[in-house]
């Protein structure tokens, strides 16, 4: 390994997860979300791996969509976030699907760009059913459709919303949001029928698709589950009992850069937050919070050295993390370190990091820097 740290991603795990998720929701179609560098796994390589299984690829930003087109993705791409007005023409030229939640300036920008290009804009109308970020109010959908249907530059390819609490086993709010979505669709049914429009309806992401089958509609947007990670421990327990198996696709490894002996009472790391309780050996991992290791792992987390759990001691620094090597007495500079992944009978997971850092597995993997080397394994 020439880098100080390396991320490996299993193509086999990604494809296995994608196939299992597609089968779970059939006959609904499966879209896969690769925003934010594919949740830290590597944008284009992930998209290319799962493209044959996907009905659609979802990203957040136009830059991601353009990269995917340049790298050979031909499936429809939905941009979930706003596209800057000066980039809308590029989006239309590439035939991306755009998210539309506006009946004023953004609508005008899209239709003007489409008119100039003699193109048709594929849009997915987003409804705000309760997350209160982007989206038209559900009660406004019929009037908005009246406006949109008069625009020859628009093709209404989809209507969708996003759920706030679907990772909870018993979530009245999820049912409230689903009902909001259904009421809006029902109120617009006659107009859609009269206009000959059959938009793809999509509401569920990973958690809802698993726990609430009634939210699947025509298509499901799978994000975190594609990568073999569960939306919550409750979802994991429920779906494991139901027989769904997912395989984490990502591992993060390094090697010890230095090993030193310290005497009892020695202060370890910045601020002296850890003092050696006895004479001990300390290993230096040449990675820190600049490399995606949360500073909150200080004196809490553990990595595997030679397959043995070795606790983090002292504060995680920008470019170094120190380990107590008591469990790995033969460790030396160059010994392998597994930050996330399995080595022998032991494993450190993104969920472990999330627990230690009071976060969620989404944040753990999404914040792994893009500059880190990523190697893609077919197995």
Residue in 41, 23, 60, 19 with CA at minimum distance from that of residue 227: 41
Residue 228 token pair = 């073999």
Question: Which residues are CB-contacts of 12 (< 8 A; sequence separation ≥ 6)?
Answer: 377, 378, 379
- How far is it, in rounded angstroms, from Cα 210 to Cα 232? 11
Active site residue 95: no
305 forms beta bridges with 308, 337
Active site residue 212: no
**35, 126, 151, 289: the active-site residue:** 35
**106, 151, 173, 270: the active-site residue:** 270
- How far is it, in rounded angstroms, from Cα 130 to Cα 78? 21
Instruction: List, as own/partner pairs, every contact residues 176-179 make where C-beta atoms lie below 8 angstroms and the sequence separation is at least 24, other chains included.
Output: 176/129, 176/130, 177/129, 177/130, 177/203, 178/129, 178/203, 178/212, 178/214, 178/215
Apex CA 309: angle with CA 303 and CA 315, to 5°? Answer: 45
3-class secondary-structure state, position 15: helix
Residues labelled catalytic: 35, 270
């Amino acid at each position: 390994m020439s880098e100080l740290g390396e991320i490996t991603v299993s193509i086999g795990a990604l494809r296995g997860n994608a196939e299992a998720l597609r089968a779970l929701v059939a006959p609904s179609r499966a879209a896969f979300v690769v925003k934010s560098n594919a949740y830290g796994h590597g944008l284009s390589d992930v998209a290319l791996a799962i493209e044959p299984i996907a009905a659609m690829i979802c990203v957040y930003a136009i830059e991601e969509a353009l990269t995917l087109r340049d790298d050979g993705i031909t499936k429809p791409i939905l941009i979930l976030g706003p596209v800057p007005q000066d980039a809308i023409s590029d989006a239309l030229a590439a035939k991306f699907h755009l998210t539309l939640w506006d009946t004023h300036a953004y609508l005008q920008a899209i239709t003007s760009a489409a008119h100039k290009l003699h193109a048709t804009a594929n849009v997915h109308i987003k409804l705000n059913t309760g997350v209160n970020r982007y989206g038209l109010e559900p009660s406004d959908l019929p009037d908005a459709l009246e406006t949109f249907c008069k625009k020859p530059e628009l093709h209404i390819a989809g209507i969708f919303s996003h759920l706030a609490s679907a990772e909870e086993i018993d979530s009245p709010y999820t049912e409230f949001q689903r009902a909001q979505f259904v009421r809006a669709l029902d109120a617009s049914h006659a107009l859609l029928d009269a206009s000959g429009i059959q938009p793809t309806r999509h509401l569920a992401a990973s958690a809802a698709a698993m726990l609430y089958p009634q939210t699947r509609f025509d298509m499901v947007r799978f994000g975190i589950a594609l990568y073999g990670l569960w939306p919550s421990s409750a979802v994991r327990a429920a779906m494991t009992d139901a027989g769904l198996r997912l395989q984490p696709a990502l591992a993060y490894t390094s090697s010890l850069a230095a090993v030193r002996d310290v005497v009892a009472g020695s202060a370890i790391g910045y601020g002296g937050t850890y003092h050696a309780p006895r004479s001990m050996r300390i290993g230096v991992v040449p990675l820190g919070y600049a490399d995606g290791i949360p500073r909150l792992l200080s004196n809490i987390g553990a990595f595997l050295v030679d397959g043995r759990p070795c606790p983090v001691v002292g504060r995680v620094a920008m470019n170094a993390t120190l380990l107590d090597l008591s469990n790995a007495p033969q460790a030396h500079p160059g010994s392998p370190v597994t930050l996330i992944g399995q080595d022998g009978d032991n494993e450190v997971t993104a969920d472990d990091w999330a627990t230690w850092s009071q976060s969620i597995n989404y944040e753990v993997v999404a914040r792994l820097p893009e500059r880190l080397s990523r190697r893609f394994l077919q197995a």
